[in-house]
Amino acid sequence: MSKFITAKFITLEGIEGVGKTSNRDYIRELLEASGKQCIVTREPGGTPLGESLRALLLQHSDEQMSDDAELLMMFAARAEHIKKVIQPALDAGQYVLCDRFTEATYAYQGGGRQLDVSKIADLESWVQGDLRPDLTIILDAPVEVGRERAGKRSAPDRIEKEKNDFFDRVRNAYLDLAKQHPDRICTVDASLTLEQVQAQIKQQLQDREII
Ligand code: T5A
């Protein structure tokens, strides 16, 4: 048996502007206060190659990116991220807290772009083997709430420019994932105040005896 059985892979998900970045630091503080070593990372990104792919994925361009190219670039960045960052940290017994992971691909490329989900599942098996997050927290809020918050923060990137019906499909895909995997995916109501959202997150971590 591995001596690193306590290592935990936690991911944060949700549509644009629901508060993933705001709550990432809060979770890291909770983990560290309970004596856990933790790295914080994000997707797409997390490595030099991944961050370069992120820039290509999010920047505006006159040339329309095909949905398949978008999907493959997400998984190319992920392959690098797992090999160079996520798996080494888990193997060293650290917690990994990741802002988005493969559930985002099911939600955005599967739900939003309406790509065949079996393509995503095949890539997930290929790139990740058995690796799945131990806990995924979906911050759930109506699309209008997330977009209003995100709009106050910065100008929309290539994906954020999609219309509300795209994000409604993304949100519904996230909620379906939570129903399919209640053992490892939970939702919190992110439409509430930051303090109320953090109280729900803390409760989820306590219920799973992570903190
Ligand atoms: N993508 C990603 C895919 O399509 N497929 C994939 O496989 C992957 C991995 C990445 C993009 O790539 C796509 C999805 C995305 O479009 P990103 O930066 O990770 O982009 O994601 P964004 O959703 O764009 O990140 P944002 O920074 O916009 O949103 P956050 O992190 O959810 O929100 P945050 O914390 O920045 O908060 C936004 C604003 O709201 C306030 C904050 O202070 C901030 O001003 N806020 C609240 N205000 C009131 N009440 C609350 N409870 C609040 N919580 C936060």
Q: Which atom of ligand 1 is nearest to the CA of 191?
A: 52
Query: What pLDDT, in 10s, does the model give residues 156-198?
Result: 889 988 999 999 999 999 999 999 999 999 999 999 999 999 9
Q: Which residue in the block uniquely carries the two structure tokens 């935990």?
A: 8
Closest residue by CA, ligand 1 atom 21: 16
**Higher pLDDT, residue 101 or 5:** 101
Residues 190, 181: Cα–Cα separation, whole Å: 20
Closest residue by CA, ligand 1 atom 35: 19
What's the confidence (pLDDT) of residue 156?
87
> Per-residue pLDDT for 1 more than 70?
no
The token pair that represents 80 in the structure block? 């690098």
Query: What pLDDT, in 10s, does the model give residues 125-157?
Result: 999 999 999 999 999 999 999 999 988 877 888
Closest by CA to 205, choosing from 107, 97, 103, 82, is 97
Ligand 1 centroid to residue 3 C-alpha, Å: 35
